[in-house]
Amino acid sequence: MTNICQSFPESLPTISTMDLAALRQQLLDLFCQVAYQEGDFVLSSGQKASYYINGKQVTLHPWGGLAVGRILLPLVPPETQAVAGLTLGADPIVTAVSVVGALENRPLTALIVRKETKGHGTRAYIEGPSLPEGSAVTVLEDVVTTGQSAMKAVDRLRDAGYQVNGVIALVDRQQGGAEFYQQAGLPFQSVFTIPDLQKRWAELQQG
């Protein structure tokens, strides 16, 4: 898969130092180039949709992953001690934010929440270093639809004794997720909304 996004600066120094506003625009373009598709789809929530966003095409892209880490890190509340998410979609996001945080002298533990308990050994739901009870954890997600997926991670983290201080997503499909988190008393923010992607995607198609 070569030259998948001609405008994305495939240079580690460039992405590491680029102004965040410019980097956000580059990341939006990458989403439109490789992650956004139109057609007939069934989402993990069971809902039917006329478009689909495969966030892993961005978060597992070498430069996309670095951009995700840089853009999400400033959104993580200052009291946060760990970032976490439900496997599989959140795995590269959690890792990227943790690694970028370490490079920027803001270490954040990375936690991966399993959908089912581990079938051997400790039978743990949560993978990663153990933190003191009451530690603040921010949940990360690639795409939010109804909000139920990330909420599974929230519930598991709370069961483990952690304090979840919010949910951050790369893309909000604006199909009830934000309202769901508001009702649950969880602060929610996203980098992009679906109108952001659709508007830019249409512009790129014309270009």
Question: pLDDT tens digits, residue range 122-179?
Answer: 568 999 999 999 999 999 999 999 999 999 999 999 999 999 999 999 999 999 999 9
Residue 44 binned pLDDT confidence (cut-offs 50, 70, 90): confident
Distance CA(142)–CA(66), nearest Å, equals 14
Q: Model pTM?
A: 0.92
Terminal C-alpha separation, the chain: 21
Which stretches within 3-147 are classed as H helix? 12-17, 20-30, 56-59, 62-72, 91-103
State the CB neighbour count (10 A cutoff) for residue 90: 28
Q: What is the pLDDT of residue 180?
A: 98
Looking at per-residue confidence, does 43 or 6 come out higher?
A: 43
